[in-house]
Structure 1
Amino acid sequence: MITTDDVAFLRSRHGLKALENTDQLALTPTTLIADVAELRARYGERAPALAETVRCRRRAVGKLRDPQRWLLTEEALQQATPGVVAAHRAAEIAARFPGVLVHDVTCSVGAELVELTASGGVGGVLGSDLDPVRLAMAAHNVDGATLLRADALTPTSTADVVIADPARRRGGTRTFRIEETSPPLLDVLTLYAGRPLVVKCAPGVDYGTLRARFGFDGQVQLVSLDGGVREACLWTELDDSAQQRATVLRTVDGEVRCEEITDLDPDDAGAGAPGQWIVDPDGAIVRAGLVRHWAARHGLWQLDPKIAYLTGDSIPPGERGFEILEQAPMKEKPLRKALADRDCGSLEILVRGVDVDPDQLRKRLKLKGSAPLALVITRIGSRGVAFVCAPGVRRP
């Protein structure tokens, strides 16, 4: 376990040189014992901290801005907000509340603070945490933020905007229960009521219960990055009336593209017969309950009113679609024949609304051809259906 003394060493001139030397080692599972032994011979008790820091930096590539300069622990890296997501939030805070003082009351090693200070649109940035090791790391990772050791449930500032990220692990496992976060989510919402508050939660948070049982009346934002849903974010004190929002972020050629949709957008997409394409909406849109809103925006419709698969005659920009080749009954024998007739050798299987294990089904279909295809399995009414499709393509 890394200590504050370790952090002080890692930040020193000798520690920075030791990190450079450590980065020359493989530090893979097969070489780790020997590599750490070599580090112990050179740096004594600092060897584990050096190895963990370098391994974390390598895993942080693509997640954090300039990862080779960060001090991290494995747990802190797992919990850190991806830089693209944090930067988008920082820009939004600066746009909604220009010139304000922002306080991250669970700042950890500073993933949010880095992007807030880089945004330049806020008046000041303050970070606090109970963990002295993470605070010491944040002092290295972040320039321009004031840091202090404090409990998130003990108000230590009169900052205009508060950010919190309650830990979502209990007993070593991830939890989605509202009452099991640390600090408790409801305590955070209560303590900072009356000023703008941004609380990051697990994507699977039960926001319906949060509204119905606990009276939360703010906005729930679901955020995805490059196809993976990263978090739910609770916003209070906003000047718009949207209750649900989906934010879809994608990195394309080094640039970040963003699409947002809310429950204020039209939702008049209906259900009907299959068009040319099947489109599986981004997970943030599905989790936010905004499938019909997004479909209406892009001229799509649902195959079934209760299923998230959409269909239409074109693919929305940036999205992936599957061109329908034929529709088949959801029975293995005719499916096997339909795929064999098309010389199918590899098969991507997508399933919604039907209890089917794609891996097990793929084995039973006994594919022997050479052509790649896709199979979309779903339900229309009470009937299971399968669509044999060309491989998925993404529209620029």
Structure 2
Amino acid sequence: MPYAFSLDDVAFLRSEQGERATAACDALPLTDASRLTDVATARRVVGERYAAVLETVMLRRKAEARLPGARGWLFTGDAAQQASAAPVAAHRARRLAGRDVHDVTCSVGADLVALARTARMCVGSDVDEVRLVMARHNCAREGIEPLLVRADALRPVTHDAVVVADPARRDSMGRRTWRPQDFVPSLDELARVYAGRDLVVKCAPGISPAAVPWAAEIELVSLDGQVREACLWSRDLASATRRATVLRSDGTQWTVTDAEPDDVPVGEPGEWIVDPDGAVVRAGLVRHYAARHGLWQLDERIAYLTGDTPPPGVRAFRVREFDGYSEKALRAYLRRHDVGRVEILVRGLDIDPNALRRRLKPRGQGEASVVLTRIGRRPVMFLCRPERIPA
């Protein structure tokens, strides 16, 4: 069970005494093996607030990857897990630059800080008083002073501001597709309460467009190759119906939308195989991406693309051999080329790459990438050398 912070805990953590206690415990390893020793040390150094201090140290460590520089922030367990990665939050804030913005589920302030840096005026609200106090602390550490209000997200307290919401996710029970009622508050309720208002809702990537008819634009956002979220934009904020935004931690980014051409042929394999970013695939923009970069499809139902010149800034696969797929033929190829380390990518075939690798038992000195897919009904394999294409 996650630790339940109290207002007294937060007041202690924000005090000079609490900051000293947190700094002292930050030196502890906090591993499974060291847990008993760490707890004993923390109780001796901190006293009765030791659990709040240890939880804070662990949450800060977990949050560091997605919120660099937030070492002095305060979190709850759920808030740290759901917080938007800093580049993703900054991208969304840039789309709302110069507007009045109200974050109605501001939690501990991860998105609020980014919004306040670009908005003309920014309000944050949450029903949880502990999270609001944490948000005030976190914003102050970043030199940000938005107006903070305790309020239910479904009871509007502003009138003309753009409404931004990041509803909590219920357990989806293993489903790949999310439903409006899988969120708290539900997407349907948010759309009803804020009908006629500019509305932006962050949600899970598996949401179906049919489930959110009010969303004029669905934007899929990835960071460093991992799809992080779908963002729903109401009519007056939309500039396309479907958008894929690809972000990198180095600050580079690009986007593709369904407003671009998508007329691409299906043809024989070229010199390269290109596996589009997951945001492009999930947004249904593979053909638009291909048209932009002069690529074509191997099969109109498969997301792999091919061409003679790969797009800049991607990891692409230079084709060395191409043949019909069979496990026997693949094993013979690996043996012939002395391949011992093999990366296996699969689309359109019912093959588990890890299970296949174990069966192949490669033992050579070299390495290769294998792309398994189908063209029509024919299973095929591409034996490739992966290369990072300069941006």
SS in 2 for 1:69: coil
Could you tell me which residue of structure 2 aligns to residue 193 of structure 1?
195
**Alignment equivalent of 1:221, drawn from 219, 244, 249:** 219
Pick from 70, 80, 99 the counterpart of residue 67 of structure 1: 70
What runs of 5+ residues in structure 1 fail to find an aligned partner? Answer: none
CA-to-aligned-CA distance 1:183-222 (integer Å, 9 cap, x gap): 0111101211212110001011112x225xxx32511000
Equivalent position of 1:318 in the other structure: 313
After superposition, the Cα gap between the structure-2 partners of 1:65 and 1:158, relative to the gap in structure 1 and judged at 3 Å, is farther
Which letter does structure 2 place at the counterpart of 1:124? M
Match of 1:177 in 2: 179
Q: Tell me the distance in 2 between the aligned counterparts of 1:19 and 1:171.
A: 35
Per the alignment, residue 206 of structure 1 pairs with: 208
> By how many angstroms is 1:101 displaced?
1.9
Cα 1:390/1:178, change in 2 over 3 Å? same
CA 1:159–1:141 in structure 2 vs 1: closer, same or farther (change >3 Å)? farther
* In 1: Cα distance, 2:386 partner to 2:361 partner: 18
Separation in structure 1 between the aligned mates of residue 239 and residue 385 of structure 2, nearest angstrom: 41
For 1:298-347, what per-residue CA distance to the aligned partner results, in whole angstroms no more than 9, with x for missing partners? 11111100100001112211111011111122111111111111111100
How far apart, CA to CA, are the structure 1 residues paired with 2:160 and 2:121?
9
Where 1:158 maps in the other structure, the secondary structure is coil
TM-score (structure 2 length as normaliser): 0.94
Look up the equivalent residue of 2:70 and give its one-letter code. P
Residue in 2 that maps onto 1:114: 113
Equivalent position amino acid for 1:118 in 2? R
Deviation at 1:39, TM superposition (A): 1.1
Which residues in structure 2 correspond to 1:78-93 (within 5 Å)? 78-93=81-96
Asked whether the equivalents of residues 320 and 395 of structure 1 are also in contact (C-alpha less than 8 Å), the reply is no
Q: Residue 34 of structure 1 is aligned with which of 30, 33, 37?
A: 37
Contact 1:249 1:259 in 2 (8 A): yes
Secondary structure of 2:90's partner?
helix
* 1:37–1:124 Cα change, 3 Å: same
One-letter identity of the residue aligned with 1:91: R
- Once the two structures are TM-superposed, the CA of residue 392 in structure 1 deviates from its matched residue by 4.2
Structure 2 Cα separation of the partners of residues 392 and 348 of structure 1: 13
Shift of 1:177: 2.1
Separation (CA, whole Å) in 2 of partners of 1:45 and 1:239:
49
| Counterpart mapping for 1:87-166 below 5 A | 87-94=90-97, 98=98, 100-119=99-118, 122-142=119-139, 143-166=144-167
Q: CA deviation at 1:3?
A: 1.2
Does the 8 Å CA contact 2:21/2:45 hold for their aligned counterparts? no
**Which moves more between the two structures, 292-301 or 39-48?**
39-48
Using a 3 Å threshold, how does the CA distance of structure 1 residues 238 and 251 change in structure 2: closer, same or farther?
A: same
- The one-character-per-residue Cα deviations of 1:136-169 (angstroms, maximum 9, x if unpaired) are 1101001311111111011111142010011112
Out of 360, 365, 385, the position equivalent to 1:370 is 365
**Residue type at the aligned position of 2:86:** G
- Counterpart of 1:358, as a letter, is P
Q: What is residue 298 of structure 1 aligned with on the other side?
A: 293
Instruction: Please say if residues 102 and 161 of structure 1, whose CA atoms lie closer than 8 Å, have aligned partners that are also in contact.
Output: yes
Q: Which moved more, 1:60-69 or 1:222-231?
A: 60-69
Q: Is the 8 A contact 1:170 1:181 kept in 2?
A: no
Q: Which residue of 2 aligns with 1:231?
A: 229
Listed one character per residue, the Cα deviations across residues 263-310 of structure 1 (whole Å, up to 9, x for unaligned) are 000001121111011010000000000000000001111110010000
1:285 and 2:247 aligned: no
Paired residue for 1:247? 245
Q: CA deviation at 1:93?
A: 0.6
CA shift for structure 1 position 172:
9.4
SS in 1 for 2:289: helix
Contact 1:372 1:391 in 2 (8 A): no
Alignment size in residue pairs: 383
Matched position secondary structure for 2:124: strand
Secondary structure in 2 matching 1:68: coil
Q: TM-score, normalised by structure 1?
A: 0.93
Query: Do the aligned residues in 1 keep the contact of 2:227 with 2:279 (CA within 8 Å)?
Result: yes
8 Å contact from structure 2 (residues 240, 257) kept in 1: yes
Shift, 1:56, TM fit: 1.3
- How far is the alpha carbon of 1:34 from its aligned partner? 1.6
Note closer, same or farther for the CA distance 1:366–1:104 as it changes in structure 2 (3 Å cut).
same
**Structure 1 residue 227, shift from structure 2 partner:** 0.2
Counterpart selection for 2:302 from 300, 307, 328: 307
How many angstroms apart in 2 are the aligned matches of 1:380 and 1:171? 34
8 Å contact kept, 1:195–1:237: no
- Please tell me the residue identity of whatever aligns with 1:267: D
Q: Which runs of 5+ in 2 are unaligned?
A: none
In structure 2, C-alpha distance between the alignment counterparts of 1:223 and 1:346, rounded to whole Å = 31
CA shift at 1:240, angstroms?
A: 5.2
Q: Indicate the SS of the match to 2:184.
A: coil
Contact 2:215–2:233 (Cα < 8 Å) also in 1: no
Alignment pair present for 1:17 and 2:20:
yes
